[in-house]
Structure 1
Amino acid sequence: MHTIEQLNDGRAVYLNGQRINVADVPIFRKTLALNNQYYALQRTHQDVHTYIEDGQRYDIAFKVPLTSADLKQKHRAYQEIAESNNGLLGRTPDFLNSAMAALAVRSHFLGHNEYTNFAANAKHYAEHVKTEDIFISHALQNPQLDRQKAINAIPSGYAGVHVTKRTMEGITVSGAKMVNTMAPIADDLLIFNPPELLLEKGDTSYAVAFATPLNTPGVKIICRKLLDHPVYTGYTEDDFPLSNALDEIDAYIVFDEAFIPWERVFVDNDVEMSNRFFMDSGMFIHSSHQDEVRGITKLEFATTLAIRTAKLLGLDGFLGVQEKLGRLTANLELIKGTIARSEEEGRLDDFGIYTPNQQALQAVRSTLPEYYEEALKVAQHLAAGSMVGVPGFKEFNGDNGPILEQALGTSKATAKERAKFLNLVFDLTTAGFGQRQLMYEYYHGGDPMRIRSQHYAGEDLRAGNEMIDRIMKS
């Protein structure tokens, strides 16, 4: 667990054209406090969030699952962490820590080169993260400069991260990654290439995977525009209950001749290994399990918000509204059931790791964004003009306060309660914060079209084909 001041360690974080100290940004402080719930729960709910291995206690995310029961225990811990931030922080430490558990066991395929043993490096790094329980963030997406060209054909050198020099001590890298969520408040960056954008021959300098501390010289974290409404603008969390409470802080990452020692390099100058890294390491499937559990939490938050909107505004007695809300609750149960199936119908891989059912998890990944958007739309349509017409909260302390208390109060809520709730609906369904959250659900797991095409290709339809074949042969 960090204090915010510990993050002023020399890291080069930029916001609005200025290099900043992370501790000086109020929304960073709030987000770090929520992120630290991952660590706090290890103390307050040890039975759920920790396990003992060789006499040492570790966070449950690092446990190598051997049975379905192990996945269910991890599910419970992931859910409690997500509930502490309403599922709105997609990259809390448990996301990549769940991946580290698999990487430590499955890293053998990475092999070695003349300078180092990549397999041993990955294993040792995963064990380091586990022992120290550090917070690692990752960046895999390359900037979308010109997808019609090979990455090595884009002359700027910022179409990805590439090696510029090798020595006996390590590699030097330059380039960029497009999106790095939570980077300013993490300890380390994990850099690799996405499996859906396979490198080709000629891209070997970009075929790299490594980890490095955020304060490594030559690493720059350039934050996108923040989505909060700071106190100096006159708005508090009563006006913006979500965007003034947290921001996941997506950033553009630049490497400018940054040195990476060999012991932190896992792939170098090897297109095949770069393409295999995320999937064959087991990192993808186990981090997906954590991610979809968080997704359930976020979907339940949005579903409940829509239902409470209907109740607050006295709309829940209408059959048409009940039908809309029933679709949302049915969607939620379908997602919960599919996650449970992924845990019940997993399998032991070749290394003895109990692995969730990938088809079930990918079904969630391809469907949950649409269910989440549907919940937002229902809440938005029900709140409609009521939320758009909410005055700023300072009005309650002004000359018009008594009028607003009388005009906006109902038997279901006081004027202030009603106003704050409708501000919550606006923040999640309409404001920039809410739109970023929606876009995140659609794209953080990869291209939705590609996910569906892969799901179709991987589906087991033997029973269906046997039924059709039986008819055709009769």
Structure 2
Amino acid sequence: MHTIEQLDDGRAVYLNGHRIKVSEIPIFRKTLALNNEYYHLQQTHPVVHTYTENGRTYDIAFKVPRNIDDLRQKHQAYQEIAQSNNGMLGRTPDFLDSGMAVLAERSAFLGHNKWTDFAANAKHYAEWIKENDIFISHALQNPQLDRTKPINGIPSGYAGVHTIERRADGIVVSGAKMVNTMAPIADDLLVFNPPELLLEKGDTSYAVAFATPLNTPGVKIICRKLLDHPGYTEDDYPLSNALDEIDAYVVFDHAFIPWEKVFVENDYQMSNRFFIESGVFIHTSHQDEVRGITKLEFATSLAIRVAHVLGLDGFLGVQEKLGRLTANLELIKGTITRSEEAGHLDEFGIYTPSQQALLAVRASLPGFFEEALKVTQHLAAGSMVGVPGFAEFDGDNGAILKQALTTDRASAADRSKLLNLAFDLSSSGFGQRQLMYEYYHGGDPMRIRSKHYLDEDLRAGNAMLDQLLK
């Protein structure tokens, strides 16, 4: 756990055209406080959030799962962390920590070159993160400049991160990564390439995976526009004035990376293998989808609360809409449970959740979340659009508003705050970012669905077909 002032460590963070100190941005301070719940829960609920290994206590995210009970404990911890921010922070420390747990044991495939041992580097880095409980973010996605060309065919030099110099002590890299969530307030950045956009033979300079502190000279963190609303309270914007899971465009400008922090270099095939074969993908997916349950349950509960407070929950059509939302929620809960129950021990003795089940969640949850937001929009409609600023309740028209907006189901203030929450999640810039994030942060659902059926175990179904069609 660190304070906001500790992030003024020389890192180059830019906002609205100016280099800033992280500690001077109020919404960064609030977001960090919520992120620190990961550490706080280790102290207040250690029976779930910690485990002991070789006489030392670690966060449960770092535990290598050996059986279903280990996954279940991690599930509970992930859920409690997500509940502390209503599922709105997708990149809390437990996300990548769950991947570090297995990277240390699965890194041998990374091999070595004449300067360094990539496998040992990855193992030692993962162990260092665990020993020090370092908060790492990751830079995965390459800027979407021209997907019709291979990355080496885009001349700007910013279509990804690439090696520009190779030395006896390390490499020098330049380039960029987009949508680096939580980068301004993390300690370290893990950089690698996405598996769904495979590198090609001519892309070897872009075939890198490494880690670096965010205050490394030559690393620039360029934040997107903030989504909070200065001048308004959290009664007006209950979510966007409470947190912003800051996304950033990260630029590497001749940044030096020592060999001991490099895991892949000059090998496009190994770069394509890194995320999946390291085990990082499947175990971070488990954390991510548990967080997704929390977010979906929050959105579902909000829609139902809006229907009740507005007196709409007695109508059959509304009840049917709300029932669809709760059915969707149960399907997601059940599928994540299935991912744990249908897990298996891999060749390293790591109990691994079912990838097919987790991909089914990733293919479905974004649509379910969007449906919950649309139901909220349709039910709240003009009621949420027309809510006056909360300061009006203490102004000249306060008495009128309290009388006019109070019902037998809620006071004027409670009704207004609920409707402001409905607007913030379903219709504001914050809510639309959450919707976009839920669709794409874990992979394009269309791509996932297009491949999912190829790996489905349909032996029983095909046997029935074969029997019938003999």
Q: Distance in 2 between matches of 1:6 and 1:412?
A: 46
Give the alignment of 1:235-254 within 5 angstroms: 235-254=232-251
Q: Distance in 2 between matches of 1:187 and 1:457?
A: 39
1:366 aligns with 2:363: yes
Q: 2:332 maps to which residue?
A: 335
Equivalent AA in structure 2 for residue 394 of structure 1: A
Q: 1:196 maps to which residue?
A: 196
SS at match of 2:202: coil
Equivalent AA in structure 1 for residue 292 of structure 2: G
Q: 1:408 maps to which residue?
A: 405
Deviations 1:321-360 (A, max 9, x none): 1111111001000000000000001000000000000000
SS at match of 1:142: coil
Deviations 1:37-70 (A, max 9, x none): 0000000000000000000000000000000111
1:379 aligns with 2:383: no
Q: 2:293 maps to which residue?
A: 296
Q: 1:453 maps to which residue?
A: 450
Q: 2:319 maps to which residue?
A: 322
| Deviation (angstroms), 1:449 | 1.4
Structure 2 residues not aligned, in runs of 5+: none
Q: 1:276 maps to which residue?
A: 273
Equivalent AA in structure 2 for residue 84 of structure 1: S
Q: Distance in 2 between matches of 1:126 and 1:226?
A: 32
Q: 2:39 maps to which residue?
A: 39
Q: 1:216 maps to which residue?
A: 216
Q: 2:429 maps to which residue?
A: 432
Deviations 1:177-210 (A, max 9, x none): 0110000000000000000010001100000000
SS at match of 1:203: helix
Q: 1:135 maps to which residue?
A: 135
SS at match of 1:338: helix
Equivalent AA in structure 1 for residue 25 of structure 2: V
| Deviation (angstroms), 1:271 | 0.8
Equivalent AA in structure 1 for residue 442 of structure 2: G
| Deviation (angstroms), 1:438 | 0.3
Equivalent AA in structure 2 for residue 63 of structure 1: K
Q: Distance in 1 between matches of 2:93 and 2:451?
A: 28
Q: Distance in 1 between matches of 2:78 and 2:369?
A: 19
Q: 1:165 maps to which residue?
A: 165
Q: Distance in 2 between matches of 1:235 and 1:134?
A: 34
Q: 1:155 maps to which residue?
A: 155
Q: Distance in 2 between matches of 1:439 and 1:258?
A: 31
Structure 1 residues not aligned, in runs of 5+: none
Equivalent AA in structure 2 for residue 322 of structure 1: Q
Q: 1:4 maps to which residue?
A: 4
Equivalent AA in structure 2 for residue 5 of structure 1: E
Equivalent AA in structure 1 for residue 297 of structure 2: E
| Deviation (angstroms), 1:455 | 0.8
Alignment counterpart, residue 385 of structure 2, candidates 383, 388, 397: 388
Q: 1:397 maps to which residue?
A: 394
1:354 aligns with 2:358: no
Q: Distance in 2 between matches of 1:148 and 1:327?
A: 39
Q: Distance in 1 between matches of 2:197 and 2:170?
A: 26
Q: Distance in 2 between matches of 1:275 and 1:173?
A: 19
What is the TM-score of this pair, normalised by structure 2? Answer: 1.00
Q: 1:17 maps to which residue?
A: 17
Q: Distance in 2 between matches of 1:289 and 1:224?
A: 28
How many residues get paired? 470
1:182 aligns with 2:182: yes
SS at match of 1:424: helix
Q: 1:265 maps to which residue?
A: 262
| Deviation (angstroms), 1:298 | 0.1
